[in-house]
Amino acid sequence: MENVQHPKSLDELKKLRKPVRNVNREFSPRLSGLERLAVWITDHVGTMGFFLIVFGWTVVWLSWNMFAPQNLRFDPYPAFVLWLFISNMIQIFLMPLIMIGQNLQARHAEARAEADFEVNTKAEREIETILLHLENQNNVMLEILKKLEK
């Protein structure tokens, strides 16, 4: 843990005060268009909506190619070679995009954690200064009470 110098007065505290950073505003503009696409895909691929789309597409594709009239089937049962090829291509393209998006989200989370740490450190300094002032006030009041009792 780092050794943090705690201020003894309000003026010292004000000198140490830095504005709170909005990491979200700092992070988003730095992303390129492709990085934003990767984050968008990462955000949407992991949803029930995406799952239902893929599931529905699979059910329709396989059902059509198993139960449609023979002359209208384009990907014969039981191999479904075209369906496997398309599914594998989707997976091959989505995997690296999801990993890129997750890496970008991890960098963002790290920046948020750093900003949270700064805020917590600042709050700790302020609380400690307030406690020191309260303790000082308590001592002054006790001295005043002792003088009044005499």
In contact, 38 and 100? CB cutoff 8 Å:
yes
Q: Residue 27 falls within a domain, yes or no?
A: yes
Q: Residue 46 falls within a domain, yes or no?
A: yes
Look at residue 63 and tell me whether its pLDDT is greater than 90.
yes
Q: Residue 29 falls within a domain, yes or no?
A: yes
Domain span at residue 59? 22-116
Count up the domains in the chain and report the number: 1
Rounded distance between C-alpha atoms, residue 150 and residue 140, angstroms: 16
Rounded distance between C-alpha atoms, residue 117 and residue 128, angstroms: 16
Per-residue pLDDT reduced to its tens digit, 82-115: 999 999 999 999 999 889 989 999 999 998 999 8
Rounded distance between C-alpha atoms, residue 106 and residue 67, angstroms: 46
| pTM recorded for the entire structure | 0.61
